[in-house]
Amino acid sequence: MNRRWLLAAPLGIAAAAGAGFYAMLARMNEGRFDPRGVPSALLDKPAPVTSLPALDGHQGWTDADLRKGGAPLLVNFFASWCVPCVIEHPQLMTLSRQGVRILGVAYRDKPADSARFLAQRGNPFAGVVSDAEGRASLEWGLYGVPETYLLDGAARVRWRMAGPVTEEILADQLQPLLRRIA
Amino acid sequence: MSADPAEQLPDPAQEERAQSIGRELRCLVCEGQSIEDSNSLFAADMRRAVRERIAAGDSDSQIMTWVTARYGDMVRLRPPFSAGTALLWASPVLFAAAGLGAALLLRRRRATVAPLTATERARIEALRKG
């Protein structure tokens, strides 16, 4: 057996592991990789039946709106107390200006606070409902806010982002997916 | 630890069941805590859901199925044995086997060091005589 090769092997493995670790940290920094992320159990399954009251003073949405078919749509869970939601908000506004239908769910938030959040920062939602007790959100497999679900024309969940949709995630993941399934 | 007595079920036997189910469920926003041990909103939502299903008469396994249908196997603190987790469960055995294999291989190699050739022996003799 070649002794030099034996000596180089551990060094090679360490170097490869270091490079992999560096790449992972870089991706975490850019928000492209979340080591705590849990994959959605709903992927490729139909969106759960959702029937929630409209957020006070706003246009709501019904379960039928989820299943109308046609263009893909986004379901976004947010709360006024949620700091990452503020980071995400400009991206939702961009999508809304592009004509993407976004249905909002205010998760465990006082309706007046959710309404103030939307009045101050703009309302990207075609409809927004209130899940004040968080029961309906559990049906979606939600474990925090913000979370965003992409539904295709058949109301199947095609993509889920747990955490803010950053500019990078919008450009790298969501926009290409929207183009592909549109 | 199920934080708030107000959220407990009135029947102690049912509450005991709820807590033992809760200890099997991972708080997905925490680090290695069960939903019984966490104060996060997600854990509170899940504790309430488990108790509501118990009160509605669901069995423990029905509740587990309900939860994993929404959150996947990741929500279970003890992952079940399945095709997807086989490697995880088998890894201790695999690592032990790999280590044992490597040790045996090295041992055999050491035992089969080639004997010195005639020229090598002659060189040693020459060196020894100086």
**Average pLDDT in the A114-131 region?**
97
pLDDT confidence tier of residue A1, bands split at 50, 70 and 90: low
B-chain residue closest to A135, CA distance: B45
- Of A92, A108, A91, the C-alpha closest to A55 is A108
Q: Answer yes or no: do A93 and A28 share one domain.
A: no
**A34-38, A118-122, B14-18: segment of lowest average pLDDT:** A34-38
Indicate if A84 and A166 belong to the same structural domain.
yes
Task: Read off the pLDDT of residues A55-68 as tens digits, 9 standing for 90 and up.
Answer: 999 999 999 999 99
- Cα–Cα distance list, A96 to A6, A89, A92, A103 (Å): 58, 11, 6, 10
Instruction: Please give the pLDDT value at position A38.
Output: 78
- Tell me the residue range of the domain where A14 lies: 1-33
- The 10 Å Cβ neighbour count of residue A124 is 23
A11 assigned to some structural domain? yes
Residues A102 and A142 in one domain: yes
Distance from the B93 Cα atom to the nearest Cα atom in chain A, whole angstroms: 22
Residues A136-181: tens digit of each pLDDT = 999 999 999 999 999 999 999 999 999 999 999 999 999 999 999 8
Judged by CB atoms closer than 8 Å, whether chains meet at A143 and B69 is answered as no
The pair of structure tokens assigned to A9 is 């092997």
Smallest Cβ distance to A143: which of B28, B49, B69?
B28
What distance in Å separates the CA atoms of residue A15 and residue A35, rounded to the nearest whole number?
Answer: 21
Across the interface, of B29, B69, B109, the residue whose CB is closest to A41 is B69
Question: What tokens were used for A119?
Answer: 């009045």
Residue of chain B nearest A140, judged by CA positions? B70
A168 and A98 together in one domain? yes
Domain match, A10 and A69 both = no
Q: Is A58 within a domain? A: no
* Nearest alpha carbon to residue A114 among A39, A58, A66: A58
User: How many domains does the structure of chain A reveal?
Assistant: 2
Q: What is the pLDDT of residue A116?
A: 97
ipTM score above 0.85: no
For chain A, give the percent of residues with pLDDT over 90.
82
pLDDT in tens, A60-101: 999 999 999 889 999 999 999 999 999 999 999 999 999 999
Is residue A11 located within the same domain as residue A76? no
The pLDDT assigned to A29 comes to: 78
Residues A81, A131 within the same domain: yes
Same domain, A22 and A102: no
Q: What is the CATH number of the domain that holds A77?
A: 3.40.30.10
Per-residue pLDDT, averaged over A2-15, amounts to 86
The pLDDT value given to residue B110: 75
Q: How far is B37 from chain A (nearest CA, A)?
A: 16
Res B4 pLDDT > 80: no
* Whether A71 and A25 share a structural domain: no
DSSP code, position A35: T
> B46, A138: Cβ pair inside 8 Å?
yes
Residues A88 and A165 in one domain: yes
What sign for the dihedral angle of Cα B71, B87, A23, A25?
positive
For chain B, give every domain's residue range.
12-75, 86-129
B72:A144 CB<8 A: no
What digits encode the pLDDT tens for the residues B41-92? 999 999 999 999 999 999 999 999 999 999 998 899 987 888 777 888 899 9
Q: What is the mean pLDDT of residues A7-29?
A: 90
Please give the pLDDT value at position B109: 78
- Distance CA(A54)–CA(A114), nearest Å, equals 12
According to the model, what pLDDT value does residue A45 have? 95
Q: Do residues A71 and A155 both lie within one domain?
A: yes
In a domain, A89, yes or no: yes
CATH class of B12-75: mainly alpha
Task: Kindly state whether residues A27 and A68 are assigned to the same domain.
Answer: no
- Lateral strand order in the sheet of A101-107: A127-131, A101-107, A73-78, A147-151, A157-162
For the segment A16-45, the average pLDDT, to the nearest whole number, is 85
Residue A57 resides in a domain = no
Average pLDDT over chain B reads 89
Size of interface A-B (CB pairs under 8 A): 40
List alpha helices for A30-82, DSSP H: 63-66
Asked whether the beta carbons of residue A144 and residue B29 sit closer than 8 angstroms, the reply is: yes
